[in-house]
Chain A
């Protein structure tokens, strides 16, 4: 198993004179399911289109399986892409959509038929071959698009926000489905998402992007527990992020003392890492909502709003009521400036 099945080196991408992705370096392992995660407009789609060959880089190289493909045209690169909009051919049936690429390769008719049916079966659409895209649900269209790419046996399969057009229930279903297909086929997959939960649930590794650069790269467990920057922490659900000054955390609004002088210039707490109901600080409940296993408070404090999850056993504090809390050093994540 090569460590750099897909290797982007100094990849620079732009539109006209605007640079969307400056000098990106990234190595993807064979058989890996990797997520490109980041806010809208950070260059995920741009990067993906460049890997596929739909966008020419202004600088840098793309290597796949040890071969430099930077100048290889998109139709010869052997890369699959599932578009956010699915991009199915509306005039063709599901079967013909899936068979489209195989027919171009002029394979024997019997092989085309067999591989198409196998592809439809892989995505759970046996028996739906005759339907036109317009006669299928969003989830089914998505599966056809997936099968259409899979039957080509691409070296790398790219998926652009594959789940974002599906409703919540279907999204969970397709998540599992994608993971299963990936494990079954062993195809190296790169999928784009702006949803951290999706990336955490699916990916072997996550590439967190910010303004065209890699902010942090690691396993879901890594990123979730050990974000290195405030940006990464915020993306991973650390909703309370403050600068430190001596033995205190500070914000534009004010400051709160800490138990000791921390090591890091920035500290971050998830809502569930904030102690509620006891502690040295006091604030007013600005918002409260019931979330099943816990109660979510927004506490108006000297630092401004602090988000805290309280155990459901604790007595409920009404809106405007006074609540005690603590920002314990023990549960804080230290971040680089």
Chain B
């Protein structure tokens, strides 16, 4: 009886996790002019069509650039922050941790709206710049958290040993700390990349003529054209995320850091 319950729960969980994914894959293969599930007839046509849509190509490049450079910027800020939070008994450390975690807690839609209303509109910062800042801020908490946890068991006397052997503090950080948190930094990068690439609410308000992230562009596309290519694209993106996480797990034992 207990056995049955366990299997039932496992089944339900998997259905809810994987079910939508399967639905999207199949819906993208429907041989119809409109989105349909269950698919009526099977074709790979929509999967190929995705690559020919001009706006998808542009927004994919933007999303990719945001994910890569936003995450890099977040790491540039987050790694030193994690280091300082770990090493020094800073007076405002708790406050800083809260501030850094804020983007996780504050709903993205509010962040997006606030950036539009109080930054883009009054200061004339370009939408692209605002998007870049928003994505950096969004990824920053993950960067700090994941890097922090990989730094936890790194003792300070290792750096002191390096200094006594002739290193400056910066050299000690680069030669001794960084190599030992490499896994954590890479894990943070992947997590940040996926988070940034897939995120909708912050970017919802931050779009302008010709400037849209891919998920927003897909929403816009659906409002006009209701063909299965959106489902096909979603399936492709899901595969991309999956491939990245899978490769990271194989290469780094990624799950140790999250």
Is there contact, CB below 8 Å, between B160 and A152? no
Cβ-closest chain B residue relative to A84: B157
Among B160, B166, B180, contact of A87 (Cβ-Cβ < 8 Å): B160
Question: What is the 8 Å Cβ interface bit string for chain A, positions 64-105, against chain B (1 contact, 0 not)?
Answer: 000000000011010111010101111100000000110011
| Central interface residue in A52, A100, A105, A149, by most chain B CB within 10 Å | A100
Cβ < 8 Å to A, chain B residues 157-180: 157-158, 160-168, 171, 175-176, 179-180
Q: How far is the CA of A156 from the CA of B26 in the complex (A)?
A: 73
User: A88 to B163, alpha carbons, bound, how many Å?
Assistant: 13
Of B157, B166, B175, B176, the residue contacting A83 (CB under 8 A) is B157
A148 at the interface (CB under 8 A from B): yes
Interface centre among A75, A77, A79 (most CB of B within 10 A): A75
CB-based contact B162/A100 at 8 Å: yes
- Docked CA distance A88–B165 (Å): 12
Say whether A81 contacts B155, CB under 8 Å. Answer: no
Do residues B165 and A54 form an inter-chain contact, with CB atoms below 8 A?
no
B166/A105 in contact, CB under 8 A: yes
CB of A101 within 8 A of CB of B160, answer no
Residues of chain A at interface, number, CB under 8 A = 24
Which residues of chain A have C-beta atoms less than 8 A from B155's C-beta? Answer: 85, 87
Could you say which of A54, A81, A88, A101 contacts B166, with CB atoms under 8 Å apart?
A101
* A89 engages B162 (CB within 8 Å): yes
Determine whether the beta carbon of A81 is less than 8 Å from that of B179. no
* Residue numbers in B under 8 Å from A152 (CB-CB): 165-166
* A145: B residues at CB distance < 8 A: 161
Contact status B180-A75, CB under 8 Å: no
Query: Which residues of the other chain, B, contact A83 by a CB distance below 8 angstroms?
Result: 157, 160-161
Q: Do B158 and A89 have beta carbons less than 8 Å apart?
A: yes
Residues in B lying within 8 Å of A, measured CB to CB: 155, 157-158, 160-168, 171, 175-176, 179-180
Q: Which residues of A contact B (CB under 8 A)?
A: 52-54, 74-75, 77, 79-81, 83, 85, 87-91, 100-101, 104-105, 145, 148-149, 152
- Cβ contacts A to B, 22 pairs, < 8 Å: A53-B164, A54-B163, A54-B164, A74-B160, A74-B164, A75-B163, A75-B165, A75-B166, A77-B164, A83-B161, A87-B157, A87-B158, A88-B158, A88-B161, A89-B158, A89-B161, A89-B162, A89-B176, A89-B180, A101-B165, A104-B165, A104-B166
